[in-house]
Amino acid sequence: MKPTLTCLLRLATGAALAALAALMAAPGLSSAADTYPDHAIRLIVPFAAGGGTDIMARIIAQDVGKELGQTIVVENRPGAGGGIGAAFVGQSRPDGYTLLVGSTGTHSANMFLYSRLPYDPVGGFTPISVLATFDNVVVVPKASKTHTLKELIDSARQNAGKLSYGVTTVGSSSHLAAEKFKRDAGIEASAVPYNGSGQATTDLLAGRLDFMLDLVGTQIGNIKSERLRPIATTGLKRNALLPKVPTIAESGYPGFSAVGWIGLFGPANMPRSTVDKLYKAIDKVYASPDFQANMRARSFDIAQMPPGEFTRFLASEREKWGSVVREAHIKLD
């Protein structure tokens, strides 16, 4: 028996309703994105509590949360160079309620430093905005006869492999900046690895090291007390805390840039409207003079970047650090 017109209409209507229900239930396509955020947001910091990234994340979470009208709860999930926290967020629902403070390591260097990662740094996340950048500074002991970058490079060339420099943490942005500096300047020097800046700084102050690259914020106290002499910074423009110190770029290496950064990410496939709400909230908070002053007081160089620009920046960072890691033969496993 052939189906009647009424039956066909019922079948068609049922199929249409089923398709509509499936569409409404699909992640990122439901009306939930329109009411975002309607409850607390988790911000995962993939590093230990108390560090610079953690402190900055908590300040940003408080101010951006107020702008969004919801609490942003910071949760530390350290380990594996940021990999544990990154993997957790990468596997979360892309609804905007679980976000990550990613870094130079988690999203541009670790993929070259480690043979395998528990997350996909390229396709596994939605870039939202850069949150801050961190210039490194080339420092020498107070007693050093070196006063300029050219003098340091000349000395390194005249004493190939004999100068020593401290590596605060193997694979850190400061370490990678040092390797890029050596490569671009065409010099050889002996790396002395440490587990953090503390002992490396002690040895530099004592003259047991010839130079070191470290974050400006970490060494600003020793620089202001004139225990260490800054001879160049690694950003494209002069650092606000060290306005009299030239950059490597203006010291004979145009275009040189080696800065650390942190940024905000969500899982892949977040709704565009959710991403836009988060970025607009960040943009508004960062425009506040009080917020800017608060960050400057802590030596943080705030920076925001629209999602599309951030995505392009990430691609350039991976290209840069991939070549540095490969040429320096650095492996963390």
Q: What is the mean pLDDT of residues 260-284?
A: 97
Q: What is the CATH number of the domain that holds 70?
A: 3.40.190.150
Chain segment 288-315, per-residue pLDDT in tens: 999 999 888 887 888 999 999 999 999 9
161 within domain boundaries: yes
pLDDT at 20 over 80: no
pLDDT at 18 over 50: no
pTM of the predicted model as reported, rounded to 2 decimal places: 0.85
Q: What is the CATH number of the domain that holds 178?
A: 3.40.190.10
12 within domain boundaries: no
Residue with more model confidence, 97 or 4: 97
Domains of the chain: total: 2
19 within domain boundaries: no
Going by pLDDT thresholds of 50, 70 and 90, the confidence category of residue 66 is very high
Q: What is the mean pLDDT of residues 38-48?
A: 96
333 within domain boundaries: no
The alpha carbon dihedral of 33, 39, 40, 42 has a sign of negative
223 within domain boundaries: yes
9 within domain boundaries: no
Instruction: Please give the structure tokens belonging to residue 152.
Output: 């340091």
89 within domain boundaries: yes
What is the predicted pLDDT for the residue at 30?
55
**From CA 233, how far away is CA 236, in angstroms rounded?**
9
Residue with more model confidence, 215 or 26: 215
Q: What is the mean pLDDT of residues 177-181?
A: 97
Task: Tell which of 251, 276, 306 closes a domain.
Answer: 251
Q: Which residue range forms the structural domain that includes residue 274?
A: 38-134+259-328
Going by pLDDT thresholds of 50, 70 and 90, the confidence category of residue 49 is very high
Asked whether the bond before 306 is cis by omega within 30 degrees of 0, the reply is: no
1 within domain boundaries: no
pLDDT at 27 over 90: no
Q: Which helix (H) or strand (E) is 328 found in, with range?
A: helix 307-328
